[in-house]
Amino acid sequence: MARKEAHDEKLVAEIASHYREILRLVGEDPEREGLLKTPERAAKAIIDITAGYRQDPLAIAQKAVFEHAGSQIVIVKDIEFYSMCEHHILPFFGRVSVGYIPKGKMIGLSKLARIVDTFARRLQVQERLTAQVCRLLSEALPNDGVIVTCDAEHLCMKMRGVEKQDASTITFDYNGKFATDPGLRAEFMSMLGK
Ligand SMILES: [Zn+2]
């Protein structure tokens, strides 16, 4: 999913000047050959990684809502995402799975992945990412309930040895019939194979 923005040169230059300073402060020589272009590359990377601030997920979602006659749970499993934790500005990444009970409409698969991406490409915490995807879907299409799970690994925990290497964190959010009917939540989980 290449979604590169045309970079604003002034913005890149300004962010790059800060990265150059960070390199110097951690004991590097920003003038050595291998690092000469690093501040500019890092600036472009952080702009891309935070592109979600400049995207409107509701508008994206509403362009991809179609008629759908069924009323059984629709599940989209294992949408891959990459995000940055807002506490350490280090990556966390994993998979989001979504379920909803349609009420005359459904949402296109590829757009669902884009919606997750607009929220993931910001400084985040996993709980909020999960809740934002859930709320957005509730707003974007008529439904009788939405459920979202997110399973992620946090490099800020792993790199610093706070979390075991194979550990992951799972978060949930749900509303509508998923909130009132534990059997529906169980059905969703079993369909995910969890
Ligand atoms: Zn963190």
Domain residues of the chain, as ranges? Answer: 9-49, 57-192
Question: From 3.90.780.10, 3.40.47.10, 1.10.287.70, 3.30.1130.10, which CATH number describes the 57-192 domain?
Answer: 3.30.1130.10
In the residue annotation, 153 being an active-site residue is answered as no
pLDDT at position 133, please? 98
Radius of gyration of the chain (CA): 20
* Pairing between β-strand 91-102 and β-strand 74-85 as defined by DSSP bridges: antiparallel
pLDDT at position 18, please? 98
Q: How far apart are CA 182 and CA 184, in angstroms?
A: 5
From first to last of its 194 residues, the chain has per-residue pLDDT tens of 445 568 899 999 999 999 999 999 999 999 999 999 999 999 999 999 999 999 999 999 999 899 988 889 999 999 999 999 999 999 999 999 999 999 999 998 889 999 999 999 999 999 999 999 999 999 999 999 999 999 999 998 888 877 676 788 999 999 999 999 999 999 999 999 87
Active-site residue, selected from the candidate residues 14, 21, 80, 87: 87
The Å distance, Cα 155 to ligand 1 centre, comes to: 7
In the residue annotation, 156 being an active-site residue is answered as yes
Active-site residue, selected from the candidate residues 28, 153, 156, 163: 156
Class of the domain covering 9-49: mainly alpha
Quick one: CA torsion of 35, 38, 39, 42, rounded to 10 degrees?
Answer: -150
In the residue annotation, 87 being an active-site residue is answered as yes
pLDDT at position 1, please? 44
Q: How far apart are CA 184 and CA 101, in angstroms?
A: 10
DSSP-assigned beta bridge partners for residue 75: 99
Q: How many Å separate Cα 90 from the centre of its chain?
A: 14
In the residue annotation, 86 being an active-site residue is answered as yes
The Å distance, Cα 164 to ligand 1 centre, comes to: 15
Q: How far apart are CA 47 and CA 68, in angstroms?
A: 37
DSSP state of 30: T
